[in-house]
Every structure is written in C-alpha cells, then in structure tokens.
Amino acid sequence: MWRTLRVRLVVLRSCLNCICHVHCACAVWCARTSCVADIISTVEFNHTGELLATGDKGGRVVIFQREPEDKLQGHVRGEYNVYSTFQSHEPEFDYLKSLEIEEKINKIKWLPQQNAAHSLLSTNDKTIKLWKISERDKRPEGYNLKDEEGKLKDLSTVTSLQVPVLKPMDLMVEVSPRRIFSNGHTYHVNSISVNSDCETYMSADDLRINLWHLAITDRSFNIVDIKPANMEDLTEVITAAEFHPYHCNLFVYSSSKGSLRLCDMRASALCDKHCKLYEEPEDPSNRSFFSEIISSVSDVKFSHSGRYMLTRDYLTVKVWDLNMETKPIETYQVHDYLRSKLCSLYENDCIFDKFECAWNGSDSVIMTGAYNNFFRMFDRNTKRDVTLEASRESSKPRAVLKPRRVCVGGKRRKDDISVDSLDFTKKILHTAWHPTENIIAIAATNNLYIFQDKVNSDMH
Ligand SMILES: *[C@@H]1O[C@H](CO)[C@@H](O)[C@H](O)[C@H]1NC(C)=O
Ligand SMILES: *[C@@H]1O[C@H](CO)[C@@H](O)[C@H](O)[C@H]1NC(C)=O
Ligand SMILES: *[C@@H]1O[C@H](CO)[C@@H](O)[C@H](O)[C@H]1NC(C)=O
C-alpha cells in the first residue's frame, strides 16, 4: 500500500518576479495557472537515496534531504525537506545560430561521494555543469587586517596581532560551480551518464555521444556519431544513452526507430559499430502511420544487476536481456486503451511525449508514468500491475493511494474513469525510485510527490 510521504505542492517560485514572461506570452495565463518555469523536468536520487535532486524548466535545481532518524522531534521519520536550492542554468543566446538556448534542466546525475561534499552534473540542451554542494557550520573570526564584514581595516588601528578562531554558526549549505563543459554539442543533449570508473561521463545529443573526463572541460571524445553526410538521409536519432552499472567499457543507446545498441569502448575508440543490436520486428498486423512514432524509445535504464535493460516507448515498457537481441523478454502495456486515440494524440502533439521508466532497488518492479497524473507499476514476478494517481487528494500526509482504473467501453465500475475523460495535459514524465527502499519520487507538472510503500518499510 503506497502512502504519501511528502508532497511539495507549493509553487516554488512566485510568478511575479520570475522569468515566466520569457515562456508564456500571456501574463494572465501565467497568473492563473502555475508558472511554467516551475515545471519539474528531471528527478534523481543520489546513490544512497538520502538526497533527491529536481531540476526545472526555469534552470533551477532543488535538493531535498531525508530527515535523519535521530532528529525525530516534530519530524515524520524519513521525510524529505528542502536542503538547497540554486540556479544552475540561465537562458542564453547563441548569436552564431540566432537561437535561444533554454535554461531548462534536461538531466541531473549525482557523482559518487568522495569527500564531505556532494557533487552533481546538470545539463540543459547544450552545457553540462559540475556543481559542488558542501556544508559549513563554522566561520573564522578575528582577522587581523579585515573586519567581520570582510572590509579592510584602517591599518593605523591595528596595533596587536591576534589569532583568528573558528566560531560555530548555523549550518549553511554552499553550492559552487566547479566545472563548465561547454561547446561539446551541436544538437540537444538528452542524456548524461556517469561511468562506473568515476572518472568519466558521457553526454548524448540527437546525433552524437561524447565522452568527457570529469576534470577536463575543454575537450571531449566523440564516441558515437550517426550524422549522415547528407542530412536529408537522416532516418534515425539518438534518444537516450546510459553506461553499464559496473562494466566501465559498456554503454547502450536507444533510437527513435525503437532499437537499442550496446557498444564496447574496448573494441574501438569510435563506437559507430555497435557490438549488439536489440530490436523487435514489428507485428505487420499492427502497422500504421503511427508505428514508427510510437516505437521511438524515450528512455533506457540498465537494471541494478546489470543483466537487463528497461525501455519505454509510447505505449509500452519492455525488459530486455543483454543476452537476447531478437526480442524483449517482457512487454507491459502502459495504456493500451490509447491505441485507438493515436490520431488525436498526434494532433495535440502528445504522441511525442517522452516518458521515463525506473527499476525498483531489487529490479523486481518497474514503474513508468502516464496521463491524467497516473503512473503505473508492474511486478515482474507476480505479473500484477497497478495504476496510481498523484493528485491533490493524495497530498495529505500519510494518505493512502487508491488504485485507479481506466475503463474502455463495456461495464463501468464505480470510481472508474473513462478514456474520454483523461486529462492529457497532466502527464507524469519523470519518476525516480529510491535505490534501496520502497520510496518513489513522482514529478507531476510543478508538483513533486514522494510516496512510500508502508507495508514493505515496516519490515525493515
Ligand atoms: C547520498 O547523500 C547522503 C546524505 O548526505 C550521503 O550520506 C551519502 O554518502 C550520499 N551517497 C553517495 C553514494 O553519494
Ligand atoms: C498489436 O496490438 C495489440 C492490441 O491492439 C497489442 O496487444 C499487441 O501487443 C501489439 N503487438 C505488438 C507487437 O506491439
Ligand atoms: C522492490 O519491490 C518489491 C515489491 O514491492 C519489494 O518486495 C522489494 O523490497 C523492493 N526492493 C527494494 C530494494 O526496494
């Protein structure tokens, strides 16, 4: 039974002073609905799940921290509270191409923690940044040449030498930009992935994948390039890419044609020739004008074990075994009732929505988003699935999520919702699963929901 652990329903940034006018033409619209800049564009737990980072369309990163268990007074155990907020990217203008570069954060990836500070990578369409997040609870006082505000003292008043001392102060979280990796991409960056060697990471755009050293910002190595000599021959783009969780030479990338390519960097420096191609032949009876669009892979994730890959396309999630290229070992229908609605979903552009997918910590359950603020979970062992809703109703603390059902014609039970009343503007594209516990983070437009499966957490 999934319960609400924390909901951040507050519009985090007030519309009046935000950069909202850049995005929405009409101020009235902006005041009535929530601010476009607050729409969450990515969510990511750190490797122990104690920290959760979100990025938004306004270029901002908000980090939540789980309340430690020993600070029980007044806090619900395990609740996530805001730890730090900072502006990661600003809107820019590319004068050479006369193009505006949006500040929207496309992806965030945590680096494994190596000292007291935390580090993460954040990227918009073009520029990847490495941020350091550190805590400070002491400050030096008693400088000889500076006063407490840091201004130089009148030297004639300095008559004796004193030893500066560290005084305790309120905990402060400091965020500082460490590196800026720019000029690596001509097209829009859709993925970043940190290698298990902890020294390199890759970034993928529509046509190329680059490999970077975390310490070197002025050059990267191009490891995949699918740009045809003549752009008119372009039939396929890269949609997502990820490193294998522990083989540092392996990575996978997905394409708009529904295929996955596994590449081995040990085989050659330029991985244009994949070592394995995973593709399922299309069922000819299902072919339609929309076939290619709905088979485009919007996300790919290796399982924690490294044995499987999970992909999401418009209507399904699929589990692939690394050892089987000809077809997925499991296919789950996310919202098959939309198959008859593809025409209108094409007209309102929804068919191009990019849903993400996630594994639970033991790779036994998979999760992905849908419309109407619904999200789906599939248990791979029991083959049971559930549809849950992230709604204001579930925003009360400890609210229990009721399974939802969409009915397609036929008999309609109480509480069923009909396909025709689904709200296609409410979509859950970004989700994340805590690496070791049954805690999930769901981004529903500008709201972040954190749910916990009570039954399982009681067993700890
Ligand atoms: C994740 O964040 C927590 C809380 O600060 C920290 O203790 C932990 O080491 C981090 N995990 C990793 C692997 O970075
Ligand atoms: C073909 O369509 C049916 C539903 O109309 C679906 O159940 C089936 O999985 C589809 N086949 C493939 C290969 O996608
Ligand atoms: C994954 O989900 C299953 C089913 O809810 C649960 O039993 C298991 O504990 C979960 N694993 C982790 C690591 O959260």
Q: What is the residue whose two structure tokens read 């829009």?
A: 188
The answer to whether residue 228 scores a pLDDT higher than 80 is yes
418-428 burial by CB neighbour count: b if 16+ within 10 A, else e? ebeebeeebbb
Q: What is the per-residue pLDDT for 389?
A: 92
The answer to whether residue 388 scores a pLDDT higher than 90 is yes
Confidence of residue 306 (pLDDT cuts 50, 70, 90): very high
Lowest mean pLDDT among 162-176, 252-266, 292-306: 162-176
The answer to whether residue 331 scores a pLDDT higher than 50 is yes
> Percent of the chain having pLDDT more than 90?
62
Query: Is the minimum distance from the CB of 360 to ligand 3 under 6 angstroms?
Result: yes
Q: E strand or H helix at 389, and its extent?
A: strand 385-389
Higher pLDDT, 9 or 431: 431
- Residue 419 Cα to ligand 2 middle (Å): 18
Query: Which DSSP state fits 285?
Result: G
Ligand 1 mutation pick, 65, 81, 113, max ligand atoms within 8 A of CB? 113
Q: What is the residue whose two structure tokens read 């918009």?
A: 124
Most confident of 75-84, 93-102, 383-392, 427-436: 427-436
Select from 238, 214, 212, 234 the least CA-distant residue to 224.
Answer: 238
- Residue 179 Cα to ligand 3 middle (Å): 37
Average pLDDT over residues 74-100: 83
Lowest mean pLDDT among 100-109, 130-139, 317-326: 130-139
Confidence of residue 9 (pLDDT cuts 50, 70, 90): very low
Average pLDDT over residues 245-251: 95
- Give the pair of three-digit tokens for residue 81: 């509270």
The answer to whether residue 279 scores a pLDDT higher than 90 is yes
Average pLDDT over residues 293-309: 97
Indicate the average pLDDT of the chain.
86
Q: Are 74 and 90 in contact (CB under 8 A)?
A: no
- Residue 116 Cα to ligand 3 middle (Å): 30
Q: What is the per-residue pLDDT for 14?
A: 35
Q: Which atom of ligand 3 is nearest to the CA of 436?
A: 13
The answer to whether residue 69 scores a pLDDT higher than 80 is no
Look at the chain and count its residues.
460
The answer to whether residue 215 scores a pLDDT higher than 60 is yes
Average pLDDT over residues 259-288: 84
Q: What is the per-residue pLDDT for 22?
A: 33
Q: What amino acid occupies position 310?
A: L
The answer to whether residue 378 scores a pLDDT higher than 60 is yes
Which protein residue's CA is at the shortest distance from atom 4 of ligand 1? 50
- In three-state form (DSSP H/G/I as H, E/B as E, the rest C), the secondary structure along 11-78 is CCCCHHHCCHHHHCCCHHHHHHCCCHHHCEEEEEECCCCCEEEEEECCCEEEEEEECCCCCCCCCCCC
Tell me the torsion sign for CA atoms 46, 298, 445, 407.
Answer: negative
- Residue 63 Cα to ligand 1 middle (Å): 12
Lowest mean pLDDT among 53-57, 99-103, 257-261: 99-103
Higher pLDDT, 192 or 98: 192
Average pLDDT over residues 61-78: 71
Per-residue model confidence as pLDDT tens digits over 92-120: 888 878 888 999 999 999 999 988 899 99
Closest-lying ligand to the alpha carbon of 280?
A: 2
Which protein residue's CA is at the shortest distance from atom 3 of ligand 2? 286
Confidence of residue 73 (pLDDT cuts 50, 70, 90): low
- Residue 332 Cα to ligand 2 middle (Å): 11
Q: Strand pairing of 60-66 and 439-444?
A: unpaired
Which protein residue's CA is at the shortest distance from atom 14 of ligand 3? 437
Q: Are 223 and 211 in contact (CB under 8 A)?
A: yes
Q: What is the per-residue pLDDT for 319?
A: 98
CA 78, CA 49: separation in Å to the nearest integer?
11
Query: Is the minimum distance from the CB of 361 to ligand 3 under 6 angstroms?
Result: yes
Closest-lying ligand to the alpha carbon of 198?
A: 1
Using a 10 angstrom Cβ sphere, with 0-12 exposed, 13-18 middle and 19 or more buried, the burial of residue 376 is buried
- Residue 115 Cα to ligand 1 middle (Å): 10
CA 413, CA 284: separation in Å to the nearest integer?
35
Q: Strand pairing of 417-418 and 406-407?
A: parallel
Per-residue model confidence as pLDDT tens digits over 153-187: 888 888 888 888 888 888 889 999 999 999 899 99
Ligand 2 mutation pick, 279, 280, 282, 283, max ligand atoms within 8 A of CB? 283
